[in-house]
Amino acid sequence: MTQGKRKTWVIGHKNPDTDSICAAIAYADLKNQTEDGIFIPKRAGHMNEETKYVLKFFDVPEPELITDVGAQIKDIEYRRTEGVSSHISIKRAWELMKNLDVVSLPITDNENNLQGMVVTSDIAKSYMDVLDNRILATARTQYKNIVETLNGTLVTGNEHGYFIKGKVVVAATTPDMMEQYIEDDDMVILGDRYESQFCALEMNASCVIVCSGAKITKTIVQLAEEKDCMLISTPYDTFTVARLINQSMPIKYIMKKEHLITFELEDYVDDVKETMSKVRHRDFPVLDENGKYVGMFSRRNLLNLQKKQVILVDHNEKSQAVDGIEDAEILEIIDHHRLGSLETIAPVFFRNQPLGCTSTIIYQMYQEKGAIIDKKTAGILLAAIISDTLMFRSPTCTQMDRAAAEALAKIAEVDIEELAKKMFEAGSDFKKKTTEELFYQDFKTFHTDEFDFGVAQLSAMSDVQLGMAKKKLQPYLEIALGEQKLDAVFVMLTDILDENSEVIYAGAQAGSLLKECFGEPDESGSFYLKGVVSRKKQMIPTLMAGLQQA
């Protein structure tokens, strides 16, 4: 049974690489095997071609794209007040509001489309401000509402009909006086006088209301039927009926229909708060993805906010985390990078090991918990290790990474070198990608107190492919610099087979920083870094050290 269990998202960094995606999928599987709850892998950005190839090769579904983990209305226990028909009376609406202890009612049709809203002030205005004795006809009031509002009995007539012409009058005088102000189609409120009842019918009233439960003779009933006149008996006295009668109007006449402020289930709480701060409404209708009404949201509901629960893999830098991470509840972090800037409100399980790949850590955790690694999971974990260690060529690669890869290859029943070749070929097919896609397919930002920079990395098995990428990327770097609001950007063009990288860059201090860290460029002005293939272990620490000395 999964009903009622809390969902937790397992998610990697923005601009995800193969390790980020595969680690999320595998760790969600491990948690589902070993813990009570629902763990769902997600991704924080678009996948690169290498990762797509890996998932397709091992027949593993792509995780859903999530761009923000901030709290949404759907994460809050909003009030599920049912919508009411626009035909119900004002009195009925008021009774519902009292019983439900609410100050507003949503008006919906039979298909749950929101038609309008009624609040207590609307009802107050209809009672205090309306002096028009023709208002019931103007509002096209149904006789059924009138009978219900007056707690009456329909003696004769069709309760489904509507009062659409005439005014409402109280016959408190003699029949002679009545003839002076009663007109055709009027609604007449009167007492037990036979003469007054007879006169109203003779004056072609469309509805006669007999108050105080007075007896109505067969002659009056017969005449009402002949005149096609509604005849209603009510236990209330004349004063009470006159006071209540306007409350029989349908709420569609007083409801607000235009410029309604609504929220959707997917709306983020921060945006909702901003909107709510600008208006004085207490309650707001909530719509689903199809625009159907589902409930009401108020400021009080914010007290019941449940943050999204997330587990982060392959990163612990706030700048690399999915948007809205500060509004989520981080439960765990599994990573193999340097300690970053991410902060949590409460203590979390944090596992950080100096290995070449996060997926190696997750493989270890499978072993520690005695969990089953199926062929597909073994395959994607293996692919992640191959990718992050550049098939064991990266200086970040450890003996544990290699041992894990060999064990996983046996479970997945694949050849490591053959898989690596196909993966890298898929990942270095740069022809189909836009310049922006190339730049951001594996891009991370880093920050010091006074200097912010980003480093992208492209890996390929041939210098021809890398040359093609360089030609496309070089003019784009200045654009990326401005878009990201950074002091410098660098791109590592890494040749997997030759185990070296060319670095292209933009930013006023970028060239001098590279010179300080790696020495003079070659005659063409390019920085070729022999033996440098790891961004994490070789590029970033060296740049950070250079910045500290500057």
Q: Place 35 in a pLDDT band, splitting at 50, 70 and 90.
A: very high
Are 103 and 119 in contact, with CB atoms under 8 Å apart?
A: yes
| CA–CA separation, 411 and 541 (whole Å) | 35
Q: Which pLDDT does position 184 carry in this prediction? A: 92
Q: Which pLDDT does position 149 carry in this prediction? A: 94
Q: Place 231 in a pLDDT band, splitting at 50, 70 and 90.
A: very high
375-388 helix and 399-412 helix, angle to the nearest 10 degrees: 150
| CA–CA separation, 126 and 508 (whole Å) | 69
The C-alpha torsion from 264 through 269 and 272 to 276, rounded to 10°, is 130
The proportion of the chain whose per-residue pLDDT surpasses 70, expressed as a percent, equals 98
- List the 329-335 sheet strands across, edge first: 64-65, 38-43, 7-11, 309-313, 329-335, 349-352
| CA–CA separation, 155 and 53 (whole Å) | 78
User: Which residue from 521, 486, 484, 516 is spatially nearest to 502, judged by alpha carbons?
Assistant: 521
Are 159 and 144 in contact, with CB atoms under 8 Å apart?
A: yes
HSE (side-chain half, CA atoms, 13 Å) at 228: 5
List the alpha helices (DSSP H) in 317-434.
358-369, 375-388, 399-412, 416-427
Are 187 and 162 in contact, with CB atoms under 8 Å apart?
A: no
The pLDDT tens digits of the residues spanning 300-309 come to 877 777 889 9
Q: Which pLDDT does position 172 carry in this prediction? A: 78
CB atoms within 10 A of CB 35: 11
The pLDDT tens digits of the residues spanning 107-162 come to 999 999 999 999 888 888 877 766 788 899 999 999 999 999 999 999 999 999 99
- Longest alpha-carbon distance in the chain: 118
Domains and CATH numbers, the chain: 7-70+308-427 (3.90.1640.10), 90-253 (3.40.1390.20), 435-549 (3.10.310.20)
| CA–CA separation, 115 and 523 (whole Å) | 73
| CA–CA separation, 377 and 375 (whole Å) | 6
399-412 helix and 358-369 helix, angle to the nearest 10 degrees: 70
What is the DSSP track for 240-309? HHHHHGGGGSBGGGTSB-SS---EETT-BHHHHHHHHHH---SEEEEE-TTSBEEEEEEGGGGGGB-PPE
| CA–CA separation, 247 and 145 (whole Å) | 9
Q: Which pLDDT does position 550 carry in this prediction? A: 64
Per-residue CA distances from 138 to 253, 254, 319, 334 (Å): 9, 12, 61, 68
DSSP element (H, E) containing 42: strand 38-43
Q: Which pLDDT does position 1 carry in this prediction? A: 39
Per-residue CA distances from 258 to 117, 184, 261, 262, 304 (Å): 9, 35, 9, 11, 30
Where b means 16+ CB within 10 Å and e means fewer, 270-288 reads eebeeebeeeebebbbbbe
Give 348's DSSP letter.
-
All residues at 6 or more sequence positions from 481 whose CB lies less than 8 Å from its CB, including other chains: 488, 489, 506, 507
The pLDDT tens digits of the residues spanning 324-367 come to 998 899 999 999 988 888 888 888 999 999 999 999 999 999 99
Q: Place 3 in a pLDDT band, splitting at 50, 70 and 90.
A: low
Rounded mean pLDDT of the chain?
91
Mean pLDDT of 74-82: 85
| CA–CA separation, 386 and 225 (whole Å) | 91
Are 455 and 446 in contact, with CB atoms under 8 Å apart?
A: yes
Is the pLDDT assigned to residue 439 strictly greater than 90? yes
The pLDDT tens digits of the residues spanning 359-407 come to 999 999 999 999 999 999 999 999 999 999 999 999 899 999 999 999 9
Q: H/E/C letters for each residue in 405-434?
A: HHHHHHHHCCCHHHHHHHHHHHHCCCCCCC
